[in-house]
């Protein structure tokens, strides 16, 4: 073909295009050759006994050469006895020669090292009992009506799960508020991986919001449909997707999985949308088809709209003696005992918006190898009470870390938590940064009404905080640091918006700048007071960098001025407060002429004029979020998603930029040559 091009310009153009295409092919290959772990993942870990065989599926640029299992107290290289190709994927087999615990998986492929955290659970023997912490609807990315962020609730839920002696976390979807926001999935990844226990996760309809193909979820979290078997315990994760129910394809998968694992004595399904209606607490018995057709109001609307799907699911649950079905979505508690053997449990939102009278929480459920399910109600309630979850607003958990320090603070006024502490109540603080340096640092502690014990040893990058008991009002501070926090934080009011608010019309936004160079910040809030009135407090939420924002409620037009100040409290309980500043409101007045009414506004100006860096915040403020069908510009498709990399391969962004530049240069050169011709 090249020889047929007679013009030198045409030949030059051909060479440029050819070289560009080869460059793009190399770029694509470079992206592929980074590699990633398909299975197991942090969102769907495998369980295995000591001394047994296990396997992993990895995409590698070259055959896997070594494998390591790593935990805070143990790290060992594993001998590979098989690494075979299954299409383009290597199936790596190895023997578990490590003691029981939760392990990270590390695989070397030539010069590439692949990593899958918290993905292998090793047991000395299959446990007779497992305690599940059920969390759901975390909606990462939200700023809630009480001023707290949804990720602060997720952190609290993860740490409280371990304090309450849980063996694993099951998350039933709406992990983030907007699926298109990949950064929120990384927040989910980072906070969930602070837990010293494994987690099983499936998506909800909000994970499809702005991402109808579930690309971000698949890339960062993992599969949306899968199962994992831990001896007698069978866990099956499914995806009710954008429209709120399972597909026939997923029911086929479910039936096949249940049939192949009939010998499992504890079968647990988990997916986002509940089968039964919102807040239903009842015992329901009967034939599936008859129930669906004669009592449609028993069922959640999205399931009610597909009676054949609903009836088939119930038939499979009945036929294979499924013990427990977990769901979320409604942001409310619900419980149905179906045919006297299957519990359908719906749990309140962990980090989303709530209706008046509802709350944010987690639910504790004990499951046994003999098939018994024990739902653990909040003290003072029974299983079939309408609200039995642990209320997250009664306890606060703070966790701050850097390369130099790690600080954990637990405080609250909660008799429920007091009565649920048991012999397994502990928090594992995994050290970050230079482990040898941190182990030589001082451990500062402060306890009020808490009986606890620290457990740690040299060469182990984890400190266990064993909580033996606590009173109704309690506080426990653990700080591992090379410095003692002796200085208060700094805080200043950077901006008040709008600068000339209109009385009865404008909500005031206050932007503050706050820093703490020692252990970190605990609370930042804004206080406001009308002349002669009471003082009120509004929590801030992260705005950008060191800046935080508080949104005051809309005040009546009778208030013509307001005093405002900001307060910062650090984790060592040091406090800094700004001076009061006065904000004057614009008060519109109306003057009536003899014939034609005219409106004249009399303005007074605010005394606050400061500058804050321009920013666009991506967080959303909400009071209620139980979105059925998020706005989409394309028709969503629901499918079984295969796992993709937990982290983007290094250099991917630079490669994408280079590809764009190459294409742009090709187009410009081609246009110039054609114009000259």
Say which residues have a Cβ less than 8 Å from residue 557's Cβ, sequence separation at least 6. Answer: 503, 504, 505, 587
The per-residue pLDDT for 668 is 66
Q: What confidence tens digit (pLDDT) does each residue in 597-633 have?
A: 444 333 333 334 344 554 444 454 454 444 444 333 3
Per the CB < 8 A criterion, the answer to whether 77 and 66 are in contact is yes
The per-residue pLDDT for 427 is 85
299 vs 318: CA distance, rounded Å: 17
Instruction: Report DSSP state, residue 189.
Output: H
The per-residue pLDDT for 33 is 43
Give the percent of the chain with pLDDT over 90.
60
The per-residue pLDDT for 193 is 87
**Across 198-219, average pLDDT:** 95
- pLDDT confidence tier of residue 436, bands split at 50, 70 and 90: low
- pLDDT confidence tier of residue 188, bands split at 50, 70 and 90: very high
**Across 452-480, average pLDDT:** 84
308 vs 245: CA distance, rounded Å: 11
Q: Which one has a higher pLDDT value, 413 or 177?
A: 177
Q: What confidence tens digit (pLDDT) does each residue in 315-359 have?
A: 999 999 999 999 999 999 999 999 999 999 999 999 999 998 899
**Across 506-524, average pLDDT:** 94
Chosen CATH of 36-122 out of 3.40.50.720, 3.40.800.10, 3.60.40.10, 2.60.40.10: 2.60.40.10
- Top-level class of domain 126-394: alpha beta
Q: Write down the domain spans for the chain.
A: 2-33+651-676, 36-122, 126-394, 402-481, 490-614
Which token pair is 215? Answer: 């690309």
Lowest mean pLDDT among 170-179, 327-336, 442-451: 442-451
The residue among 467, 639, 623, 445 whose CA lies nearest residue 551 is 623
**Across 416-426, average pLDDT:** 85
Q: What angle do CA 662, 665, 670 make, to 5 degrees?
A: 125
Q: What angle do CA 560, 561, 564 make, to 5 degrees?
A: 150
**Across 150-159, average pLDDT:** 94
The per-residue pLDDT for 641 is 45
Exposure class string for 521-536: b at 16+ Cβ within 10 A, else e: bbbbbbbbebeeeeee
Q: What confidence tens digit (pLDDT) does each residue in 266-304 have?
A: 999 999 999 999 999 999 999 999 999 999 999 999 999
**Across 494-501, average pLDDT:** 94
- pLDDT confidence tier of residue 511, bands split at 50, 70 and 90: very high
Lowest mean pLDDT among 21-30, 200-209, 651-660: 21-30
**Across 34-61, average pLDDT:** 93
A 10 A CB-CB count for 551 gives: 19
The per-residue pLDDT for 31 is 34
Two domains, one topology: 36-122 and 490-614: yes
- Does the pLDDT at position 588 exceed 90? no
The per-residue pLDDT for 660 is 58
Q: Give CA separation, 625 vs 239, 329, 354, 621, in Å.
A: 19, 9, 7, 10
DSSP bridge pairs for 41: 44
Arithmetic mean of pLDDT over the chain: 83
The per-residue pLDDT for 483 is 86
For 490-614, CATH number? Answer: 2.60.40.1930
């Amino acid at each position: 073909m090249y020889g047929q091009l007679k013009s030198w310009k045409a030949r030059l153009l051909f060479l440029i295009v050819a070289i560009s295409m080869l460059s793009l092919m190399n770029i694509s290959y470079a992206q592929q050759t980074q590699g990633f772990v398909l299975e197991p993942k942090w969102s769907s870990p495998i369980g295995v006994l000591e001394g047994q065989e296990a396997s992993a599926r990895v995409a590698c640029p070259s055959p896997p050469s070594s494998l390591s299992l790593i935990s805070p107290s143990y790290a060992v290289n594993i001998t590979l006895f098989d690494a075979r190709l299954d299409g383009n994927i290597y199936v790596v087999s190895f023997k578990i020669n490590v003691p029981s615990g939760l392990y990270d998986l590390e695989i070397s492929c030539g010069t590439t090292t692949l990593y899958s955290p918290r993905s292998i659970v090793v047991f000395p023997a299959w446990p007779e009992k497992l305690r599940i912490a059920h969390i759901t609807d975390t909606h990462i990315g939200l700023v809630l009506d009480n001023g707290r962020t949804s990720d602060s609730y997720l952190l609290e839920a993860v740490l409280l799960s371990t304090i309450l002696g849980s063996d694993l976390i099951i998350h039933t979807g709406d992990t983030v508020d907007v699926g298109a926001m990949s950064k929120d999935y990384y927040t989910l990844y980072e906070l969930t991986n602070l837990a010293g226990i494994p987690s099983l996760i499936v998506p909800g309809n909000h994970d499809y919001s702005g991402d109808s193909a579930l690309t971000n979820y698949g890339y960062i979290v993992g599969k949306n449909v899968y199962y994992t078997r831990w001896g007698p315990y069978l866990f099956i994760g499914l995806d009710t997707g954008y429209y709120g129910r399972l597909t026939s394809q997923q029911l086929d998968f479910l039936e096949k999985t249940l049939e192949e694992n009939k010998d499992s004595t504890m079968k647990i399904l988990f997916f986002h949308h509940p089968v039964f209606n919102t807040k239903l607490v009842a015992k329901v018995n009967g034939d599936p088809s008859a129930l669906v057709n004669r009592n449609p109001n028993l069922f959640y609307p999205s399931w009610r709209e597909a009676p054949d799907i609903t009836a088939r699911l119930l038939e499979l649950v009945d036929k294979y003696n499924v013990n427990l079905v977990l769901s979320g979505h409604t942001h409310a508690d619900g419980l149905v005992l179906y045919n006297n053997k299957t519990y359908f449990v719906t749990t309140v939102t962990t980090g989303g918006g709530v209706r008046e009278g509802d709350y944010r929480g987690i639910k504790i459920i004990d499951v046994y190898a003999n098939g018994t399910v024990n739902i653990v109600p909040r003290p003072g309630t029974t299983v079939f009470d309408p609200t039995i979850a642990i209320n997250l607003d009664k306890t606060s958990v703070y966790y701050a870390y850097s390369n130099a320090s790690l600080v954990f603070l637990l405080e609250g006024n909660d008799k429920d938590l007091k009565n649920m502490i048991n012999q397994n109540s502990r928090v594992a603080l995994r050290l970050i940064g230079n482990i040898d340096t941190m182990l030589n640092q001082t451990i500062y502690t402060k306890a009020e009404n808490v009986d606890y014990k620290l457990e740690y040893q040299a060469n182990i990058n984890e400190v266990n905080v064993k909580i033996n008991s606590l009173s109704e009002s309690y506080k426990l501070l653990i700080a591992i640091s090379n410095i003692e926090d002796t200085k208060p934080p700094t805080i200043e009011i950077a901006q008040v918006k709008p600068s000339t608010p209109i009385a009865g019309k404008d909500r005031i936004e206050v932007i503050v700048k706050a820093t703490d160079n020692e252990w970190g910040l605990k609370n930042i809030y804004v206080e406001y007071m009308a002349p002669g009135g009471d003082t009120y407090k509004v929590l801030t939420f992260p705005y950008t960098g060191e800046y935080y924002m508080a949104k005051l409620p809309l005040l009546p037009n009778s208030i013509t001025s307001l005093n405002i100040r900001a307060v910062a409290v650090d984790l060592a309980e040091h406090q800094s407060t700004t001076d009061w500043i006065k904000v004057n409101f614009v008060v519109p007045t109306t003057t009536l002429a003899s014939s034609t009414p005219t409106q004249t506004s009399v303005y007074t100006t605010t005394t606050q004029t400061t500058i804050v860096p321009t920013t666009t915040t991506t967080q959303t403020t909400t009071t209620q979020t139980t979105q059925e069908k998020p706005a989409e510009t394309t028709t969503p498709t629901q499918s079984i998603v295969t796992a993709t990399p937990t982290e983007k391969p290094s250099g991917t962004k630079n490669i994408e930029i280079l590809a764009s530049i190459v294409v742009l240069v090709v187009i410009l050169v081609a246009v110039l040559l054609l114009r000259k011709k």
